[in-house]
Amino acid sequence: SSDLAFFSSSKVSNSVASTSSNVVVTTRVARRPANQQSRSAPATRAPSSSSSPLSSPLTSDHSPPRKRKTQTVGSSSALPRDAKQQVSFDIAVSRFRHRDPYHTKEWCTDEDGAPGKRHLSSEMVVKRLMKSYKNFKNHDDPSDRSFQPHPTNYPFAELEYPNTGASERFILLAPKDKDHYGPIMDLERSLHCIVENYLTPPQQALFGPIPSDALSEAASPPPSPSPSPPHSRSSTSSGSSSLTSLSDSSTLSSLTSLSTSSTNSPIRVPLLRAVQRAIHRQDGPLFLRAIAQINSILRSLKYPPLPPDLFAPVPPNPLMQVVEGWSEKGMPKKVLMRIIEENYQRSVGPNVHSLKQYEAFSSTVYGELMPSLAHEIIQVTKLNEESLFLDLGSGVGNVVVQASLQTGCRSFGVELMPAPAKVARQMAEQLKVRCRMWGIRMGEVELEEGNMLTSKRVDELIAKADVVLVDNKVFEESLNEALRPKFLDLKEGAIVVSLKPFVSSLNARVTERNVDDISAIFDVTERPYHSGSVSWGNNGGSYYIHRVDRGGYAKIREKFENSRVGGRSTRGSRR
């Protein structure tokens, strides 16, 4: 298959299985010389309370580590990256600010939603690959060429996003390969997400019910003559109907009357169903008319009428008031996954060719954890907005940005390979823009391009980390061994998540023989992941949660020390 298949809408959406803070990511990139000292002093290890370097002062009583349970995980090709040089690129929020421990989580951003000039839109992505797309049609006028692909004069539709000033343009074309990115399918999914999660039931009624059958899986019927009239290529023409008439039309369930005598008259069918019908039939005029009326409603909801009193405050955006109400229940998972998918399609998809440039069967082989597995790991490890998350070998930064978006936590990622590290910086920058469009705030993100083994920033942060992710599925054993000493700096209760276990022996308890092994501080749990959870294979496998338990380790070590002393005393008395 072609490289375009890498960023098909189905690749990301199918991976979605079965949330942010008052700090957002900045996107100014600063290059730092490799030999420059860290602005903060490197973290030092806690003083040991025993003769072993694995021990540290205990703050609570813990039971001894459970039995290490591990199995061979299927699939040999994976993700990764090792280290050879250190050139670090930091997102400008390169040092995390102090956080109020009593801060109440707020999801709603106080920023305007206008994307700005640096926004990487769906339109820009498709424009670069115009030859890979085919046109919609005007079934009422076969001679109409306005829906044909064109380098500059192409048809487009625009969608209003929830936040004030936020909108995005989508080129009205369909991919020639069904597995490639479909901009109009993308628009429809975002529209459904907005209607379902940002609107009240009376407001939802203005659009009609969300179609139950998945468009991406539905078979398109053969084209047939449609009474839809010709229409201009831009969807920005206003729908002149009132909200009342549109609400009445949304109760109709039949698709028998899709035409009207005027291009500005309301479509006498539920609007979301009309959009679906237009996509199935690749009916350009019908799609533009439906989207124009949908945007007219969304603008009327986002921008309430101004009060007669010129000195009265401007009414708030009701869609943003919905986000303010997420403080208790959290951000809906559908919104989370929609933002992640939108950002991935625009930031990663166009760069697939550069991501394939790695040395086969090495620690630099590229691969990803899918959003569904990342979501599970984030939940299982109980990350929250007060947490610090580290990803050692962060690739394109997909898990780093997802953690900060899903929980509001502070996230740091380090990646050796230049190509994925460059994409990661774009991912972080564009996610900031996209979160504004959806009216959401996220946690801080810091990214570094460099060697995880020699990074001073890693040494500084690992002692503060709550969760460390190491996607070491194809790491060489030498790299895994080199990483293990770094875990000595982890605080009590910190978690390391990996695709291969860091314990030195399988199915083994801590014994007098292995008590001095670094991995003895870990209490390890194996968890399964299912098909579609990783990018490098269709099979399931296992991942491992290593929790630092120095309390349990200290008790076991004390037991062994006492037995040694007792043994020497017994031998001495016999003499």
Q: Is 547 helix (H, G, I), strand (E, B) or coil?
A: strand
Region 298-327: mean pLDDT is: 94
Asked whether 20 and 110 are in contact (CB, 8 A), the reply is no
**What's residue 61's pLDDT?**
42
Confidence of residue 174 (pLDDT cuts 50, 70, 90): very high
Region 182-211 average pLDDT: 97
Residue 519 has pLDDT above 90, yes or no: no
Arithmetic mean of pLDDT, 358-384:
79
**Which residues have a Cβ under 8 Å from the Cβ of 76 and sit 6 or more positions away?**
474
Reference 365, options 18, 78, 152; nearest CA is 78
Confirm if 397 and 424 have CB atoms less than 8 A apart: yes
Give the integer Cα–Cα distance in Å for 550 and 552: 5
The pLDDT of 151-176, averaged and rounded, is 96
Amino acid at 147: F
Q: Are 25 and 109 in contact (CB under 8 A)?
A: no
pLDDT > 90? residue 53:
no
Of the candidates 79, 40, 91, 83, the one whose C-alpha atom is nearest the C-alpha of residue 413 is 91
pLDDT beyond 90 at 514:
no
Mean pLDDT across 53-60: 42
Beta strands 88-91 and 29-32 are antiparallel
Residue 496 or residue 567, greater confidence: 496
Over 50: is that where the pLDDT of 450 sits?
A: yes
For residues 35 and 150, the model is more confident at 150
Let me know the angle formed at the C-alpha of 160 by 240 and 340, rounded to the nearest 5 degrees.
155
| Average pLDDT over the chain, rounded to an integer | 75
pLDDT for 335 beyond 70: yes
Return the ∠ at Cα 266 (arms to 265 and 268), rounded to 5°. 125
Residues 546-564, mean pLDDT to the nearest whole number: 68
Query: What's the average model confidence in pLDDT over 504-524?
Result: 65
Give the long-range contacts of residues 141-147, CB within 8 A, separation 24 or more: 141/230, 144/230, 146/232, 146/233, 146/284, 147/172, 147/233, 147/284
The most confident of the ranges 57-66, 327-336, 363-372 is 327-336
CB 272 within 8 A of CB 207: yes
Residue 8 has pLDDT above 70, yes or no: no
Out of 256-270, 367-381, 383-397, 428-442, least confident range: 256-270
220 CA to centre of own chain: 30
- Whether residue 452 is predicted with pLDDT greater than 90 in this model: the reply is yes
Answer whether 0.85 is exceeded by the pTM. no
Q: What is the DSSP string of 82-140?
A: --S---EEEES--SPPP--TTPPP--B--S-----TT---HHHHHHTTGGGEEE-B-TT
- The amino acid that residue 268 corresponds to is R
Residue with tokens 């014994």: 511
The per-residue pLDDT for 426 is 95
pLDDT of residue 278: 96
- Helices marked H in 363-500 — which ranges? 371-380, 398-407, 418-438, 456-462, 477-483
For residue 264, give Cα distances in angstroms to 203, 251, 282, 288, 485: 21, 20, 20, 11, 69
What are the DSSP calls for 312-376, one per residue?
SPPPP-HHHHHHHGGGTT-S-HHHHHHHHHHHHHHHTGGGHHHHT-S-TTSTT----B-HHHHHH
Categorize the per-residue pLDDT at 367 as very low, low, confident or very high, splitting at 50, 70 and 90. Answer: confident
- Mean per-residue pLDDT for 134-145? 93
More confident residue, 214 or 525: 525
